[in-house]
Structure 1
C-alpha cells in the first residue's frame, strides 16, 4: 500500500505542466488563473561570457525598453557591474551596454520619468540612491548618499511609495564581496522623504535585507532576507532564505513597520527580488526560477528555469521579463495578470 507521502509526490508530478520547453509547476489550482491556459517562455537574449542579467530589471513603458544590471564577478580580481538596456528591433531583441555614472549598481525602480538605482558604491564612492535619465547620455543625479553623515553599507534594492517616499534595503554584500569598506551601520531597511530630506531606519534585525515590495494597497511591506547566501561563498542553509511581511501603520503622522512575520521560506536558493501583482500574489526570484505565493503565503506555483533567477519585472498585461544571469526570458502568462508596481 502506497504511503500518504508517496501520494503527495504523485500529486505534484501530475500538476507539473510542460508547454514546449517551458515548465510551469502548479502547487495550488489558483496558479492556473495566473499563468492562463497556454503560458510560454521565450529565450530573448543570452551571453556566455559574463552574467549580464542579474538585477534591477526596469520596464520603461515609453520606449518598451528593459534596463538591467549584471552580477559582480569575483574571479580574476573582480569585474565591475555592467548596466544594459534591452530593446526589440524588428522583432529581434538586442542588448546595449550603457555607462551612466552609477558605482556598482544593484536594484532599481521606475521613478518619475526615469530610473532610480540603488548603487552599492566602492572604496572611493559612497553607496547611494542615484536617479538616471532613461535617454542618452543617461545623465545621473545623486539623491541620497549617507544616513545623516554615516556611510551606507551597500544599498541593494529600492521601491517607491505612493506618498513619494523611497524605501530601500542596506545589506553588506559590497563588503562581503570585497569592493566596499567595512560596514558602518546595521543591516537595515530605510525610508527617505525627498521632500523634507528625512531618512529613517524602519526595520532592523535582518541578516541580509534584500528585495522589497508593497502590497497593492500599501498596507504590507514584503522584505526578503537572503542571509543564507552572502555572496562570498559563505552559504549556510540554517540562515534566512525568507520573505518577511510587515504591516505599515501610521503613528504621529508617520509610517512605521510593525508585526513582522514570516511570509514564506523558499525551498530552493534564496528569495532575491520580490514583486506583487494587482491581486496581491507575491512573486520572488529564487534558485530555480520565479516562485509565486498567495497573499496568505501558500506556494501557488513556479515558473521553472534552468538555474537562478535573481530578479524579474512585469511589463504589459500578462508579460514578465525574467533575468537568468546569462539569459533573459519572456514569460507570457494570463492577460489578467498585472504587476502592481506599474499597473499595466
Structure 2
C-alpha cells in the first residue's frame, strides 16, 4: 500500500494555531464506520453519542516542557534540543538542531550552566543521545528552563502551558500532547460519569514517532519508533468487564488506541501490563480492543491517518476529511475532533 494513498489537500488556513477559549467548543465530525454517514456536531454534544456502560479510555500522560535552547560550550553557537525519551537515569534521546553542530562529546549549556548536556551518541535525522548534568531534581530544572514542544506547524506563542495538557494529565514523560483529550473538561467528564460512562486511564508517553514523517513509499516498510505504555490492574479489570457485558470500548486518541491494541494483541484478556510498543496500525489491521475512536484531524500521509483509515475505512476517512476541509474544520493539535463509531 502506497503512502500517496493517504494524501489529501489541506489549505494552510485550516491549521489551528491557538486553542479555543472553551475546550468543548470545538466542532465534532461523527463518522459511522458501517454506513459512511457523516454528521456535523459540536464536541459539547459528545455525551449524546456515548451510552451507559461504554468505557472511555483516556491517556493520562503529561507533556514535558521538553524544548531547550542553549549554547555550545566551545563556541557559543545556538543549539536547540527536544527531549524525546528518557533512556536510563540522566541519559535522554533527543532531536538536536542544527544537528551538524552536535558531535560526540559536544557539551551544550542551558540557563547559564544550570543544566549541561554532553552528547554521548549520534543517531539519524538529527537524533542525539545526551547525558544530563545538574543539581537538584531534573524535572524542576526542566520546568524552569524548558518550553512546551509545540509542533512546527504552530507558529503562534502559547500563553498558557496548561492548554497543551489534558485536564487529566498525570504522569510526566511525553514529548507531545495526546491531543484528542484536549477537548474534555472536568465538568464534561463528570457528566459522562453521571450518565454511566466509565472513564479508565492508561499511559502512553508520546515520543519520537510523532515528529518523524513516513519516509518510505510503501507503508509496509515503515518502522515505528517505540513508546512506553502502562496499564493498571484496575483499568484492565474495567475493560474486561466492559467487554464481557458487551459494552463499547472507546479510545480517546490514537495513543490510547495503540496501547489497547498492543495489550490485546499480546493477551487473550485485558491484564495489567507495561513496556514498549512500536505497533503500526494501517488498513488491513483487525482491531481486537477498540470499538470506537475520538481523535483529531491529522497530517496528510501520516501514520495517524493510516490508523484512523484502518478503523473507519480509507475511502470513508478521506471522504470525511474532504468534507471537513469543505466545511472549514480546524486541523491538527488545537483543531476540531472526529468520532469514528
Question: Could you tell me the TM-score, scaled by structure 2's length?
Answer: 0.26
Larger Rg: 2
> Which structure has more strand as a fraction of its residues?
1
> Which structure is higher in RCO with an 8 Å CA cutoff and minimum separation 6?
2
> Which structure has more helix as a fraction of its residues?
2
Question: Could you tell me the TM-score, scaled by structure 1's length?
Answer: 0.26
